[in-house]
Amino acid sequence: MNKFECIQLLKQDVIPALGCTEPVCVALCLAHASKVLDEEILSIECDVNIGIFKNGMSAGIPNFEDVGLKYAASLGAFLKNPEKGLKLFEDIDDEMKQQGKCIIIVTHSREVAQRADKVFTL
């Protein structure tokens, strides 16, 4: 494979993301789900595989001082901007930061590891 073919392959298969991809993927799923809901979100339950759990639990979130997947899920639910793709965290502002923390406080998210099937609940 020559240099031109490598560059073409990268342009074809690599897309820009803002932040670590594990929290971004969780947030993107919640952004899609919340965009189609007509009612207020009171709690979030999100199952992820072991890789996303391990890599995302202490990952930082751009424009946000707290870390981890439960904050990413909460922010994605409030952002409701799946059209931004892996750059959805660009839309975090001061109001969003407060809302993102509220759902975590209200739901008292649980972190349960289910080793048998390697599915983790946030």
Amino acid making up residue 104: I
Q: What angle do CA 115, 24, 66 make, to 5 degrees?
A: 85
Give CA–CA dist 105/66, Å, rounded. 13
Q: Per residue of the chain (122 residues), give pLDDT as tens.
A: 899 998 888 888 888 888 889 999 999 999 999 999 888 887 788 888 888 988 998 999 998 888 999 889 989 998 999 999 999 999 998 888 777 666 664 444 444 444 444 555 55
- The SS3 of residue 61 is strand
